Amino acid sequence: MTTIEIDKVEYITETTLTIRESRRRTTVPKEIVDILGLDNGDKLRWILFEDGNIMITKVNKKNRS
């Protein structure tokens, strides 16, 4: 089970997944884009755990391996 230290949480929200044929899209909330300083072309890393939880992290431009 993944645990969350709520006092370390800065922002919580939900978004909708859109699936059209082979295209899958989700929207990154504006607040997250602003906080992380995301820009067009930046990469996000999706990590799926055995318990079904997902962690999404910003990939630093210098650490894109």
Question: What pLDDT is attached to residue 38?
Answer: 94
Question: What pLDDT is attached to residue 64?
Answer: 58
Number of domains in the chain: 1
Question: What pLDDT is attached to residue 37?
Answer: 93
Question: What pLDDT is attached to residue 17?
Answer: 87
The CATH number that applies at residue 58 is 2.10.260
Q: Which residues pair with 8 in a beta bridge?
A: none
In a domain, 1, yes or no: no
In a domain, 19, yes or no: yes
Q: What is the mean pLDDT of each run of 10 residues along the chain (65 residues)?
A: 85 90 90 93 93 91 63
In a domain, 23, yes or no: yes
In a domain, 59, yes or no: yes
CB 28 within 8 A of CB 38: yes
Task: Provide the residue range defining the domain that includes 29.
Answer: 6-63
Question: What pLDDT is attached to residue 56?
Answer: 92
Question: What pLDDT is attached to residue 60?
Answer: 87
In a domain, 10, yes or no: yes
